[in-house]
Amino acid sequence: ETGVTQSPTHLIKTRGQQVTLRCSSQSGHNTVSWYQQALGQGPQFIFQYYREEENGRGNFPPRFSGLQFPNYSSELNVNALELDDSALYLCASSLGLSSNYEQYFGPGTRLTVT
Amino acid sequence: AQRVTQPEKLLSVFKGAPVELKCNYSYSGSPELFWYVQYSRQRLQLLLRHISRESIKGFTADLNKGETSFHLKKPFAQEEDSAMYYCASQVQGNNRLAFGKGNQVVVIP
């Protein structure tokens, strides 16, 4: 069984640019959640996708958007990057929406905005 | 909105000493509470959840609804317990997690 994978591992972007981060969910998982973890903070919920539809969003502006594909992999897109977007971005997959299902985290993508 | 508070940032304990990490939550409903752990160079992983009421790696946590707390305890710390620990809450019915800021635990040999 393959765990959650994320790419790239890290990247550096300039303020104003756009970035796409990718996440492959664990085998059999149809739900993907994205979190932002700023330095010294706990992860913050960005949004969640279930069977290719967005299912809830945290307190993030519209320039944070996402997609989920038929194979349940997912992308996080951030437009008009700001310095404060520098963070570790985590995705987590689960078997479904129920709170009974454990979320399995990927290793994260470290984004630095200069 | 859910809010999770972990007051201490860094906790240093000697091997064999007890460990207690404090976690308080604020939510008007009945949240589900979790402790997640991140060992050095590893990904975030679930340590335990309150509904399972089990002890994992010697750690236990009791949900106290009156004090809105979910403190994590271990009677005898081991060196391998050195890690970042995050308390998290989740509204019943969905699996979106709200995390605290985390506690860095350092176990001194």
Distance from CA of B43 to the nearest CA of A (A): 5
Residue A1: what pLDDT?
55
**Tens place of pLDDT per residue across chain A (114 aa):** 579 999 999 999 999 999 999 999 999 999 999 999 999 999 999 999 999 999 999 999 999 999 999 999 999 999 999 999 999 999 999 999 888 889 999 999 999 999
pLDDT digits (tens, 9 = 90+) for B50-72: 877 788 899 999 889 889 999 99
Nearest Cα of chain B lies from the Cα of A12 at a distance, in angstroms, of: 21
Amino acid (1-letter code) at residue A8: P
Among A66, A70, A64, CA closest to A85: A64
Identify which of B90, B99, B101 has the shortest CB distance to residue A99: B90
B93 touches chain A (CB under 8 A): yes
Q: How far apart are CA B24 and CA B5, in angstroms?
A: 5
Q: How far is CA B77 from CA A20, A91, B9, B12, B48, in A?
A: 41, 30, 18, 10, 17
Smallest CA–CA distance, residue A84 to chain B, in Å, is 17
As a whole number of angstroms, the distance between CA A32 and CA A7 comes to: 15
Q: What is the rounded CA–CA span in Å between residue A56 and residue A45?
A: 10
8 A C-beta contact, residue A105 and residue A4: yes
Contacts for B30 with CB less than 8 Å, ≥ 6 apart: B92
Confidence of residue B76 (pLDDT cuts 50, 70, 90): very high
Expressed in percent and rounded to 5, the helix, strand and coil fractions of chain A are: 5, 50, 45
* Cβ within 8 Å of residue B14, ≥6 positions away: B77, B107, B108
- Residue B50 is given by DSSP the state G
Does A107 contact B at CB distance below 8 Å?
Answer: yes
Q: A94 touching B, CB under 8 A? A: yes
Chain A CB within 8 Å of residue B46 CB: yes
Spatial separation of the C-alpha atoms in residues A85 and A45, rounded to whole Å: 14
- What is the amino acid identity at position B77? A
For residue B91, the surrounding DSSP H or E stretch is none
Distances (CA, A) of A107 to A5, A9, B71: 7, 8, 26
Q: Name the residue among A90, A99, A105 with its Cβ closest to that of B92.
A: A99
The beta-carbon neighbor of B43 closest among A55, A102, A106 is: A106
